[in-house]
C-alpha cells in the first residue's frame, strides 16, 4: 500500500517509536492521527507537522476514546487505511521478590495496556477499514502492532511485560488469517533495545552497557529505524501474519 494520500492512526504517537512513525508517514504523504495520553507532547508534534497531522487524547484501553480517535480520522481525512500500535508501558518485578509475590495489580495493568489495549486498537481499526474500497492488490488496510524481543527471550523480572508482548506476537497470525477476507494485513514488530524515552530514564552507564550487548550494530536502535520498517510493512503486500524482530541479532541474557 502506498502511504501517499492514505490516512493513518498511530497510538502512542506523541513520542519515541510512535513519533518517529508519525513523521515517517507524513513524509511519505500520509495524513496521520496522533492518538496518545500525552496531550502537550502530542499537540507540539502536530504543530510541527502542520496540516498533515491531528492529535486526539486517547487511552488505548478505553473503547470510547479509541472510537473517537477513529472517528476523527474519518471526519478530518475521510477514512482509515493504516493503523500502528505503539502505545505501551514497561514494567518490571520479580515473581517473588524481597517483599513477596509480584502484585497482581501490576501484572494486570501491564497486560491491560500492552495486550488488551493493542487488541482494542486493532479490532476497532480493522472494523473501520472494512468500509474502504480495495486497491489494485485488493487491500483495504494494514495494521502494525508493537511486540518486543522480550516476548521470546524475556529476562528475570519481565514476567508481566514478556507475557503482554508475547500475547501481541501470538495474536498476529490468527488476526491476519481472519482479516484476510477483507484485504487487511496484520504484522507485528518486535524491537530490541531502542533509544526511547523509556530507556532515557536509565543512567548513561546502564544505557551504554545495554548498547554493548547488541552484536551489530553495537548501539541502541534509533526510532527512525523502527519507522522505516513500518513503512516497509505498509508498502510490501506480501508481509502479512509475521512478527519481525528488529534487534541487531540481540538475544537477551537471563538478567
* Catalytic choice (55, 77, 107, 161): 161
Q: What are phi and psi of 19, to 5 degrees?
A: -65, -40
77 as an active site residue: the answer is no
**What separation, in Å, do the N-terminal and C-terminal C-alpha atoms of the chain show?**
40
Calpha distance 87→108 (Å, rounded):
16
Q: What are phi and psi of 100, to 5 degrees?
A: 115, -165
Structure-block grid coordinates of residue 41? 507532547
Q: Strands 100-101 and 96-97, how do they pair?
A: antiparallel
Q: What are phi and psi of 213, to 5 degrees?
A: -80, -10
- Contact predicate 65/59, CB 8 Å: yes
The set of catalytic residues is 161
Amino acid at each position: 500500500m502506498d502511504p501517499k494520500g492514505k490516512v493513518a492512526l498511530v497510538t502512542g504517537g506523541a513520542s519515541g517509536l510512535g513519533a518517529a512513525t508519525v513523521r515517517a508517514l507524513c513524509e511519505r504523504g500520509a495524513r496521520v492521527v496522533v492518538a496518545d495520553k500525552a496531550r502537550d507532547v502530542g499537540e507540539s508534534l502536530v504543530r510541527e507537522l502542520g496540516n498533515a497531522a491531528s492529535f486526539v487524547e486517547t487511552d488505548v484501553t478505553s473503547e470510547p476514546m479509541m472510537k473517537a480517535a477513529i472517528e476523527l480520522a474519518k471526519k478530518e481525512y475521510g477514512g482509515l487505511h493504516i493503523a500502528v500500535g505503539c502505545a505501551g508501558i514497561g514494567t518490571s518485578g520479580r515473581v517473588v521478590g524481597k517483599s513477596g509475590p509480584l502484585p497482581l495489580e501490576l501484572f494486570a495493568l501491564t497486560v491491560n495496556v500492552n495486550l488488551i489495549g493493542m487488541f482494542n486498537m486493532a479490532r476497532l481499526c480493522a472494523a473501520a477499514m472494512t468500509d474502504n474500497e480495495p486497491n489494485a492488490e485488493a487491500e483495504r488496510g494494514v495494521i502494525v502492532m508493537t511486540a518486543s524481543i522480550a516476548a521470546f527471550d524475556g529476562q528475570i523480572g519481565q514476567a508481566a511485560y514478556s507475557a503482554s508482548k508475547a500475547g501481541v506476537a501470538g495474536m498476529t497470525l490468527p488476526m491476519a488469517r481472519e482479516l484476510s477476507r477483507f484485504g487487511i494485513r496484520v504484522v507485528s514488530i518486535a524491537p530490541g533495545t531502542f533509544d526511547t524515552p523509556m530507556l532515557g530514564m536509565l543512567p548513561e552507564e546502564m544505557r551504554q552497557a545495554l548498547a554493548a550487548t547488541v552484536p551489530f550494530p553495537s548501539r541502541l536502535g534509533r526510532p527512525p529505524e523502527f519507522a522505516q520498517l513500518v513503512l516497509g510493512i505498509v508498502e510490501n503486500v506480501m508481509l502479512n501474519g509475521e512478527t519481525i524482530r528488529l534487534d541487531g541479532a540481540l538475544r537477551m541474557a537471563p538478567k
